[in-house]
Amino acid sequence: MLYYLFEFLESEYSLTGASVFQYISFRAALSVITSLLITMVFGKRIIQLLIRKQVGETVRNLGLDGEAQKEGTPTMGGLIILTAILVPVLLFAKLDNIYVILLIISTLWLGAIGFLDDYIKVFKKDKKGLAGRFKILGQVVLGLIVGIVLYVHPEVVIKEKHTSTSTLLEASTSSSNGPEEENIVTWKQSKSFKTTIPFFKNNEFDYSSLINFLGDKAAGWTFLIFIPIVILIVTAVSNGVNITDGLDGLATGTSAIIGASLGILSYVSGNMFFADYLNIMYIPQTGELVIFISAFVGACVGFLWYNSYPAQVFMGDTGSLALGGIIAVFAIVIRKELLIPILCGVFLVENLSVMIQVGYFKYTKKKFGEGRRIFKMAPLHHHYQKLGFNESKIVTRFWIITVMLAVLTLVTLKLR
């Protein structure tokens, strides 16, 4: 909203300094500062409100160190994160940007599903919360909405660089060098469904190539591939953050690191100069997403003020489902979703540890009549707790691994 206000003041009244709001970097800085202030200033009041309403975490007896002291810790702290994301975005972003609109919808949608789950756990005294099938259904519907909008919306395009050669005729016929050639660079816009694929020289992959057997009709049926992939990514990453949210500050800090990396990728993808230099797709309007992801990072870092060990508040599903959904949708809209297995490696491993544990237990129970386990406990962070590692040490090491994966992700832009 402030963007449009200062744009009006500049055009109508030539207000000195109003033009600074045109700069993405300036609005991104304001966005991260505002989100930090919201979490740190208003976070304490929200925590006190949660305590008064007796919105406390019910901890299952898993035999883990420090488990008893978490009992009764306020949950649903994701409300702090959601507020700290949405308020700066509404203040500083261009709200007519289709990508910003999609991310706001994703935040509200998954935040609402997570809130309902937490509400059932806390106020209905049902430890299971919202049935898993309804969570999955909500994630699938969001993925379907995002996929359809990206597929049909006319503003969702990319621009690719094309070089052509033009011959310059010499004014003097006495020149012995003959005519000179000049390379002309143009950017052509297309409604393409290409995405970035790491470690390949021409690091672009077109989803329509998966259905080339349809011949000339392949482009028209790309949605059969694209939309299911979007649904899969949204569901997987959202659940990945939810599973990872088991130690104080683990999911929050990891999400902040991933968010910062996505912000860099968004900025270079939405800037023609950097896209040209890095030889990557130029995606118009995605630069505006830097404002959104700045609020996201600020909200995560600010929440760590209260969520770091020992946590004064837990985000609950209200926060974890929304954070995962934001990361997934953000990566998809900037055409970097195939980098998620690297960038979100911690979430991936946490997900896989649960799948492997459950699958192996069922297999051995069926074959030997007795269920066996690969890990002492899943998800993976609980396995290390069972091995005797301190909670804060596990969290810090997972953060370090995420930083390494984030650097590797950024390096893939040139490592081909």
Please report the pLDDT score of residue 210 as a whole number: 83
Q: What percent of the chain has pLDDT over 70?
A: 91
Please report the pLDDT score of residue 176 as a whole number: 53
Please report the pLDDT score of residue 189 as a whole number: 80
> In the predicted model, what is the mean pLDDT of residues 46-64?
74
Angle (deg, nearest 10), helices 132-152 and 223-244 = 140
pLDDT band for 65, please (50, 70, 90 cuts). low
What's the per-residue H, E or C state across 295-318?
HHHHHHHHHHHHHCCCCCCCCHHH
Q: What percent of the chain has pLDDT over 90?
A: 56
pLDDT band for 13, please (50, 70, 90 cuts). confident
Please report the pLDDT score of residue 109 as a whole number: 97
* Domain-located, residue 184: no
* Domain-located, residue 377: yes
- The phi and psi torsions of 177 (rounded to 5 degrees) equal -85, -15
Please report the pLDDT score of residue 263 as a whole number: 95
* Domain-located, residue 108: yes
Q: Which domain holds residue 205?
A: 2-7+19-158+197-411
* Domain-located, residue 186: no
pLDDT band for 264, please (50, 70, 90 cuts). very high
Radius of gyration for the alpha carbons in the chain, expressed in angstroms and rounded = 24
In the structure encoding, which two tokens stand for residue 189, read together? 């816009």
Residue ranges in 344-390 assigned as alpha helix (H):
345-368, 380-386
pLDDT band for 91, please (50, 70, 90 cuts). very high
Q: Which string of DSSP letters, residue by residue, matches 254-269?
A: HHHHHHHHHHHHHHHH
Give the containing element (helix H, strand E) for 204.
strand 204-206
pLDDT-wise least confident of 91-100, 107-116, 267-276, 293-302: 267-276
pLDDT band for 171, please (50, 70, 90 cuts). very low
Put simply, whether the predicted model's pTM sits higher than 0.75 gets the answer yes
In the structure encoding, which two tokens stand for residue 223, read together? 């949605």
* Domain-located, residue 85: yes
Instruction: Provide the number of structural domains found in the chain.
Output: 1
* Domain-located, residue 181: no
Which residues have C-beta within 8 Å of that of residue 120, sequence separation ≥ 6?
126, 129, 130
Residue 413: DSSP 8-state: T
* Domain-located, residue 166: no
Please report the pLDDT score of residue 178 as a whole number: 57
Q: How far apart are CA 54 and CA 74, in angstroms?
A: 7
- Write the pLDDT tens digit of every residue in 298-357: 999 999 999 988 888 999 999 999 999 999 999 999 999 999 999 999 999 999 999 999
Please report the pLDDT score of residue 172 as a whole number: 47
